Structure 1
Amino acid sequence: MVARELLGCALVHFHHGEWLGGWIVETEAYLAIDDPACHGARGLGRSNASMFADAGTLYVYPIHAKFCVNLVTQGVGIGSAVLIRAIEPVWGVEVMKQNRGTNDSRRITSGPGMICSAMQVDRISDGVDVTRSNEWALHSGHDVIDDVIATPRIGISQAVDLPLRFFVDGNRYVSGLAREHTRPRREQLGTLGE
Structure 2
Amino acid sequence: MKGEWCYFQGHFSPETCERILALAQRIPDQQAVMGKGGDNKDLSHRRSRVRFIQVNDPDFQFLFDEVWRLGLVANRDWFNFHITNLSYIQLAEYDASYEGKYDRHHDVFWMNGDPHYHRKLTVIVQLTDPAEYDGGDFELYDLGGAYPDKQAIRTQGTVFVFPSFVPHALRPVTRGRRHSLAVWFDGPKWR
Which interval holds the TM-score relative to the shorter structure?
A: under 0.3
TM-score, length-normalised on structure 1?
0.27
Compare the two structures and name the one with the higher strand fraction: 2
Query: Which of 1 and 2 has higher RCO (CA within 8 Å, sep 6+)?
Result: 2
